[in-house]
Amino acid sequence: MLRLLALIVAPFALVLAGCLSNASVQTVAPDKPVMAPETFDHSAFDAILETVVDERGFVDYAALAAEPAALDAYLAGLAAADPSKLSDADRLAFWLNVYNAYTLKLAADNYPIESLHDVVSGVFIPLVNTPFKVEFVVVGGETMTLDKVEHGIIRPEFEEPRIHFALVCAAYSCPPLRAEAYVGDRLDAQLDEQARRFLYNPDKNRVPDDEETIRLSKIFDWFGGDFGDNDDELQRFLAPYFEGEVRETLEAGGYGVGFLKYDWSLNDTATPDPS
């Protein structure tokens, strides 16, 4: 009887042992290593910007045109980079620097010019025959336009309205070009500083223009949807950058909103401020 019982129990014991063995293997299996995001060194761009950008955020294009090697070397690094391996903040900083660096390249290679629009031949046609449609930006082996960088990558992928205070299209009415590269670990502070610097410049924004009205850069008109669905939401976006009665009025959407004419003159240090 005992021998018969052993014959019956043995197969079940083997099955149970196998299950326990498998469970043990699954429990002690090592986790896959988590790879840290890569970084990109923008210090070469820092050195360039520190040299050619003045206190107004204007650019010494003559100097860039005379000595293009440093900018070309930095652009070669961008051309070989893979931004998809960067963290979100580093990736946004990367693309902001791409836009600004290649804009400098376009202006310097065609200098002297009165406006970036002078780099394209033929009749100027808005949204069609513009420098922002020129295919010369190379990143990760792909050739693209400045429009692709701004409207095909930065705006839809990051949905960060403050990028409009960081992208500089080489025009007088643009936000000031920062005399340092954007970097992921300081990006939020850099964008806030750019916002204040831009908003408090009366040549570019007047908040308020009088007791009842604010007059803003055309950037807020062209890209209004990035800041809100209407004038009230736009004013609430602006409010944190101001104090006192102005802030309270903005929070309440109490101003009428107008826009200043956009000056496309080259933001060249050799050009005096328009009177």
pLDDT, tens only, 50-94: 999 999 999 999 999 999 999 999 999 999 999 999 999 999 999
Element (H, E) at 138: strand 137-139
Question: What integer pLDDT is reported at residue 37 of this predicted model?
Answer: 67
Asked if pLDDT for residue 25 goes beyond 50, the answer is no
Q: Determine if the peptide bond prior to 112 is cis (ω within 30°).
A: yes
Look up residue 23 and give its two tokens.
Answer: 């469970």
Average pLDDT, the chain: 89
**In whole angstroms, what is the distance from residue 149 CA to residue 36 CA?**
25
Residue 129, pLDDT score:
83
The mean pLDDT of 207-215, rounded to a whole number, is 97
Q: Are 171 and 263 in contact (CB under 8 A)?
A: yes
In tens, the pLDDT along 94-149 reads 999 999 999 999 999 999 999 999 999 876 676 678 999 999 999 999 999 999 99
Only one residue has tokens 């050799």, namely: 270
Read off the pLDDT of each residue in 244-254 and give the average, rounded to a whole number. 98
Q: How far apart are CA 34 and CA 36, in angstroms?
A: 6
How far, in Å, CA of 49 to CA of 57, rounded? 10
Examine the pLDDT at 28 and tell me if it is beyond 90. Answer: no
Mean pLDDT in residue range 257-263: 98
| Pair of tokens at residue 102 | 């290649």
Rounded to 5 degrees, what are φ and ψ at 89?
-65, -45
- Is residue 32's pLDDT more than 80? no
CA atoms within 13 A on the CB side of 110: 18
pTM above 0.75, yes or no: yes
What band does 38 get if pLDDT is binned at 50, 70 and 90?
confident
Asked whether residue 195 carries a pLDDT value surpassing 60, the answer given is yes
Quote the percentage of the chain above a pLDDT of 70.
Answer: 84
Query: Whose structure tokens read 């300081």?
Result: 186
Q: What is the pLDDT of residue 127?
A: 65
Question: How far is the C-alpha of 1 from the C-alpha of 210, rounded, in Å?
Answer: 106
Residue 31 has pLDDT above 80, yes or no: no
Contacts of 222 (CB under 8 A, 6+ apart): none
pLDDT: is 21 or 153 the higher one? 153
Please answer whether residues 140 and 80 qualify as being in contact, where contact means their C-beta atoms are separated by less than 8 angstroms: yes
Q: What are phi and psi of 266, to 5 degrees?
A: -60, 135
Supply 20's token pair.
Answer: 């326990």
What is d(CA 147, CA 154) in angstroms, rounded to the nearest whole number? 10
φ/ψ region of 113 (left if φ > 0, alpha if ψ in -120 to 50, else beta) reads beta
16 has a pLDDT exceeding 60: no
DSSP label of 144: E
The more confidently predicted of residues 43 and 122 is: 43
